[in-house]
Amino acid sequence: MSSGCGAPPQGGAVEVGSNEVVVSGKVRSDGAPVGGAFVRLLDASGEFTAEVVSSTEGDFRFYAAPGKWTVRVLYRNASGQADVVALGPGVHAVEVALN
């Protein structure tokens, strides 16, 4: 993992340590993956925590703390969101459909 401010490349394999929580998923519109969408991670109180841009295949991921999260996606004239409960270590997958 880089010490810079930029997000790691999205998509690809995810290596997860035994104590790490990863919120990972895909952005879709009408069943097709959406690349270039802004994907935001909000904490349980709705506060902004992080943002990445989905890969060309619509993939995104965040390294997070255990808890309840909301993934909110913004793309052109569409948006979507999904809630994630990540109470323990591992990859917690979510798919976000754009409206």
Residue ranges of domains in the chain: 21-97
Q: What is the mean pLDDT of residues 44-53?
A: 97
Q: Is 38 helix (H, G, I), strand (E, B) or coil?
A: strand
32-44 tens-digit pLDDT = 999 999 999 999 9
pLDDT at 18: 74
Task: Read off the pTM.
Answer: 0.84
Query: Which CATH number, 3.30.1380.10, 3.30.1280.10, 2.60.40.10, 2.60.40.2310, labels domain 21-97?
Result: 2.60.40.10
HEC-encoded secondary structure of the chain:
CCCCCCCCCCCCCCCCCCCCEEEEEEEEECCEECCCCEEEEECCCCCEEEEEECCCCCEEEEEECCEEEEEEEEECCEEEEEEEEECCCEEEEEEEECC
